[in-house]
A and B are shown apart, each in its own frame.
Chain A
Amino acid sequence: MFKFLINPSRFNKFADIILKPLIIITSFTLILGLFLIYFSPLDYQQGLTVKIMYIHVPSAWLALLTYAIMAIYSIIGLSFKIPFSFVVNKAIAPIGAVFTLLCLISGSMWGKPMWGAWWVWDARLTSVAILFIIYLLIIFLNQTFENRDVREKTIAIFILIGSINLPIIKFSVDWWNTLHQPASVSKLSSPSIDISMLQPLLIMTVAFSLIGIIIAILRIKAEILIRKKYL
C-alpha cells in the first residue's frame, strides 16, 4: 500500500492523482487558518505580537519534521539500497532550509518586542541556527561531487551524523535554563495553551505541512524526470 513512498513510478502515479485535490484542500485550509488567526484572542501580556506564533511554531515543527524524514530516508537508502530515497533527500532539503529560515526570522521578529533583542545566545536558538547551517551544507554537498553514487551516499551519511542535533533542539529547553519558553503543546499531560489559540495553531500546522508536501511532490517529480533524461 505504501509502495509509492519508495517506488518512483508508483510515486508519479500517486502524485498525479493527489496533486489537484491537495491544492484545493491546502488553499481552503490556509484561508480558514488565516481567518481563525484574525479572530483569535490577543494575549493579555504580549498583545498583538502573539500572532507571530501561528507562523513561528508550525515552521519550527516542520523544519524538524523535514530533517527527521530525511534521516529516515537516509537509513532506508543506505541499508536497503533504494535510490528513490536519495531523490527525496535531494528534493526536500531546500524545503527544510526554508522552513528553518522562516522559523529563525519570525522568531527574531517576535524576540525584538518581547525580549528586547533580535538574537540571544540561547540553547534553543543556537541549535536551530546550527540546523539551518546543516541544511545549507547538505545543499552545498549536492553540488560538490562529480560521481552521483558517492554524492548521494556521502550526503546520507552526513545527514545521519547531523541528526544528533534533533534531540538537542527538542530537549534544549529542558536541559538548559533558556529564555525560550519550554514546550507547551507537545507535552504528555494536557497542553498549557488555550483552546482558542490551539485551534488556529493546529490548522496552520496542517496548512504548512500541506504546502510543504505539494512543493516536495513537485520537486521530487522534477528530480525523477531529470534522472530519467540524463541517465
Chain B
Amino acid sequence: MIIIKKIYLFFKRESKLFFSNIVDLFSNILFFFLSVFVFIFALGTDEQLLKTIGIGIIWSLLLLSSTLSLRKFYEEDFKIEILPIIHMGGMSYELIVFLKILSHFTFVQIPFLVSLPIVSIFFNLPANEVYNLILTFIIGSLILSCLGSISASMNLLNKTNFSIGSVIVLLFSIPLIIFSVGINNADSDFNTLFNLLIGIALIFLGIAPWSSAACIKLALKNK
C-alpha cells in the first residue's frame, strides 16, 4: 500500500510542477501550429495536395515539436538533486524513470491530442483518418516519451553538444513514423500495423527504464 501512496505523491509533485509552468506547454503547442502554418504557406493551398500529404506532415512536425521540451525531462530534477532523495525514499531508479515517462505522457503528450483535430481541419482530412491519427498518436507519443527519457538522461552531463539529444530521438523514431503514417495507406491493414506499433511501444517501455536509469546513475556519480 505504501508504494501506491508514494506513486500518488510522485504524480502530485509532477502535476504541481506542470501547472506551475503551463506556459511552456502552450508555447510548444503554438510552435506546432505555427510550423503547420509555415508548411502550408510553403506548399501552397492546393486542397488535394494537402489531403494526400497531411498525415505525414502532421506526424513529422509532431516529432520535431516534441523534441523541443526534451531537455527539461530530467534537467531540473537533476539540478536540485531530488532524484537521489526519491531513490532514498524506497524507489529504484528504474521505477522513477518509468513514472517519469508516464507523467511526461500524461502531462505533455496528451494535451497535444487536443490540438490534432484542430490541425486536421486545416488539411481537410477525412474523419476516419483523424480517428486513426489520434489512435496512433496515443501509442506513438508513449514511444516518444520513452525516447525522450533515453536521450535526456544520456545528455545530463553533456555541456557542449546540445543538438545530439534531438538527433537520437529522431533516429530511433524512424520505425514509429513508418508504421504510424503507413496505417493510413489504402492497401495496409489497420490491425496489423497498430499491433506492430503497440509492440514497438512495449519494446521501448522495456528498454527505456534500464538505459535511462543506468545513465542517471552514471551522471549522479560523476556530477
Q: Find out whether the CB atom of A150 lies under 8 angstroms from the CB atom of B222.
A: yes
16 chain-A/chain-B pairs, Cβ below 8 angstroms = A78-B214, A133-B171, A137-B171, A140-B161, A140-B164, A144-B164, A145-B157, A147-B222, A149-B221, A150-B219, A153-B215, A154-B154, A154-B215, A158-B168, A161-B150, A161-B172
Q: Are B157 and A150 touching (Cβ within 8 A)?
A: yes
Residues of the B chain whose Cβ atoms lie less than 8 Å from the Cβ of A153: 214-215, 218
Complex interface: chain B residues within 8 A of A52 (CB): none
In whole angstroms, how far apart are the Cα atoms of A78 and B211 in the complex? Answer: 12
Q: Which residues of A contact B158 (CB under 8 A)?
A: 144-145
Binding site for A on B (CB under 8 A): 150, 154, 157-161, 164, 167-168, 171-172, 174, 203, 207, 211, 214-215, 218-219, 221-222
Q: Which of A78, A141, A145, A149 has the largest count of B CB atoms less than 10 A from its CB? A: A145
Tell me whether A134 and B164 are in contact (CB under 8 A).
no
Contact A141 B164, CB 8 Å, known A149-B218, A150-B157, A153-B218: yes
Interfacial chain B residues near A146, Cβ < 8 Å: 157, 159-160
In the bound complex, do residue A137 and residue B211 qualify as a contact, i.e. CB atoms below 8 Å apart? no
Measured between beta carbons, the chain A residues less than 8 angstroms from B222 are 147, 149-150
Chain A residues in the interface with B (C-beta under 8 A): 78, 126, 130, 133-134, 137, 140-141, 143-147, 149-150, 153-154, 157-158, 160-161, 164
Number of A-B contacts (CB under 8 A): 50
Determine the distance from Cα of A126 to Cα of B178 in the docked complex, in whole angstroms.
Answer: 11
B221 to chain A, nearest CB (A): 8
Q: How far is it, in angstroms, between the C-alpha of A161 and the C-alpha of B150 when the chains are bound?
A: 10
The answer, among A126, A130, A145, A154, for a CB contact under 8 Å with B171, is: A130
**Minimum CB–CB distance for B206 against chain A, Å:** 11
Enumerate the 6 nearest inter-chain pairs by beta-carbon distance, A residue then B residue, closest first: A144-B161, A147-B222, A157-B211, A150-B222, A150-B218, A150-B157
Contacts of A126 in B (CB 8 A): 174
Residue of B nearest to A168 (CB): B175
Min CB distance A75 to B, Å, is: 13
In whole angstroms, how far apart are the Cα atoms of A6 and B222 in the complex? 25
Residues of A close to B171: CB separation below 8 A: 130, 133-134, 137
Contacts of A140 in B (CB 8 A): 161, 164
Residues of B within 8 A of A145 (CB): 157-158
Minimum CB–CB distance for A182 against chain B, Å: 21
Q: How far is the CB of A47 from chain B (nearest CB, A)?
A: 35
- Given the complex, which residues of B lie within 8 Å of A134, measured CB to CB? 171
CB distance from B200 to the nearest CB of A (A): 10
With A and B bound together, what is the CA distance between A161 and B167 in angstroms? 14
- The closest CB in chain A to the CB of B178 belongs to A126
Most chain B CB atoms below 10 A, which of A137, A143, A150, A164 = A150
A160 to B221, CA, bound (A): 21
Are A137 and B164 neighbours in the complex by a CB distance under 8 Å?
Answer: yes
A130–B172 Cα gap in the complex (Å)?
A: 9
**Chain A contacts for B161, CB-based, 8 A:** 140, 143-144
Complex CA gap A161/B155 in Å reads: 15
- Nearest residue (CB) in A for B156 is A150
- A-B contacts besides A150-B222, A154-B215, 12 pairs, CB < 8 Å: A134-B171, A137-B167, A144-B160, A144-B161, A145-B158, A149-B221, A150-B219, A153-B214, A157-B154, A158-B168, A160-B211, A161-B211
Contact present for B168 and A137 (CB under 8 Å): yes
Chain A residue numbers with a CB within 8 Å of B168 are 137, 158
Q: What separation, in Å, do the CA atoms of A146 and B157 have in the docked complex?
A: 8
Of the listed residues B154, B203, B207, the one surrounded by the most CB atoms of chain A closer than 10 A to its CB is B154
The minimal Cβ–Cβ distance linking A130 to chain B, given in whole angstroms, is 6
* Contact of B218 with A154 in the complex, beta carbons under 8 Å: yes
Residue of chain A at shortest CB distance from B203: A164
Report how far A146 CA is from B219 CA in the complex, Å: 12
Q: In the complex, are the beta carbons of B215 and A157 less than 8 A apart?
A: yes
Knowing A144-B161, A150-B222, A153-B214 are in contact, say whether A158-B154 is a contact too (CB < 8 A). yes
Whether the pair B174, A130 counts as a contact (CB closer than 8 A) is yes
